[in-house]
Amino acid sequence: MTEQPSALGPLRVLDFSRVLAGPFATMLLGDLGAEVTKVERPGAGDDTRAWGPPYDPSGEATYFQSVNRNKTGLALDLDDPADRATARRLAERADVLVENFRPGVMDRRGLGHPELSAVNPRLVYCSISGFGTGAGAGLPGYDLLVQAVGGLMSITGPAGGEPQKAGVAVVDVLTGLFATVGILAALRHRDATGEGQLVSVDLLSCLLAALVNQAAAHTSGGVTPARIGNRHPSIAPYELFPTADGDLVLAVGNNRQFRALCGVLGVPGLADDARFATNPDRVAHRDALAAALRAALATRPAAEWAAECAAARVPAGTVNDVAGAFRLAAGLGLDPVVAVPRPDGTAVRLPRNPIRLSRTGPTYRLPPPPPPGAGRTEG
């Protein structure tokens, strides 16, 4: 059987990052064929190895597993001169280095971008920080903290209620994606010129960029967005509605969809009501519109409404838990889970990389590395 060609092989990635943003970025590179070496502290390793429950049947923390497949492991104590020398030798041969220590830590160890680029000019060096390398260099970069100070919690949660975080460390994930894009762009430049470069991303800037329309409401429109629960600031109806049995999400983005929705609900007159004629009209009168829709939706279960809306090409759906979401994806033929084999014949089941490439798609060659030993091992 011929091995599938990879998009990024034999790219060599040296991963000094921990927790989520950096490991997520390096896992994506690994999925696409890069050879990733994850460097961890001897003994304890990455902080997320201890972030449980839950654990998989082998006793490994599922948090760690979620972002560390397709990597080999290496235990190095960067406070030890011999281990630092090993790290430097590896960096001299690497194509990409990713780190998310506090700004200045790698420089003090002789592993900063200026030192390593001098001996490896082709190196793409990616630094991930919480708040940049200036006045915020000393601030701790935890996702919850950035969601709070970065404005995300101020627009998440019910109107008048307390600020809410997202249900996943979304700032770390977004930062990992931005880091990956930056790395790939730098590699494209290196392929054309032979020059490596420094790629820098920080959690706060990534969050502000990812606030998209809410951010532009402030920067361009002079508006400070606020919490409005499951409603959308610019679209209606675009929220959660109770039904006779369960909740239904409606995400109506244009006039055709709204008219079709009114037909499905048996209230065609709403589409002819001047208050609801256009989307700005519907936003201006969203409370009256929501009351009319709740009255109609209360007559039947959410699943029945979702099926009828789908048939009429109206965006709608029930609210799944995570298990239900995976069942939905499987039922749609999206194959959302991959089984990554371990040397002992077992496998770790992980979410599939969502990128589909017709020639050089993701592969799942290595399970997350085992815990690092107490002594130095060089790969």
CA distance 157 to 138: 30
* Paired strand residues for 62: none
CA distance 147 to 211: 11
Can you read off the two tokens belonging to residue 9? Answer: 């092989």
Question: Following CA atoms 163, 167, 172, 178 in sequence, which dihedral angle do they give, to the nearest 10 degrees?
Answer: -100
Q: Where does the chain show beta strands of DSSP type E?
A: 12-15, 35-40, 71-75, 96-99, 124-129, 198-202, 238-242, 247-251, 316-318, 337-341, 347-351
CA distance 235 to 34: 42
Q: Are 368 and 65 in contact (CB under 8 A)?
A: yes
Can you read off the two tokens belonging to residue 257? Answer: 């969809």
> First-to-last CA distance in the chain?
28
Long-range CB contacts for residues 145-149, cutoff 8 Å, separation at least 24: 146/171, 146/203, 146/204, 146/207, 147/171, 147/207, 149/204
Burial class (CB in 10 A: 0-12, 13-18, 19+), 20: buried
CA distance 138 to 203: 13
CA distance 172 to 206: 9
Closest by Cα among 160, 105, 62 to 367: 62
Number of H helices, E strands in the chain: 15, 11
CA distance 86 to 376: 10
One-letter amino acid of 200: S
Which of the residues are catalytic?
172
CA distance 90 to 14: 8
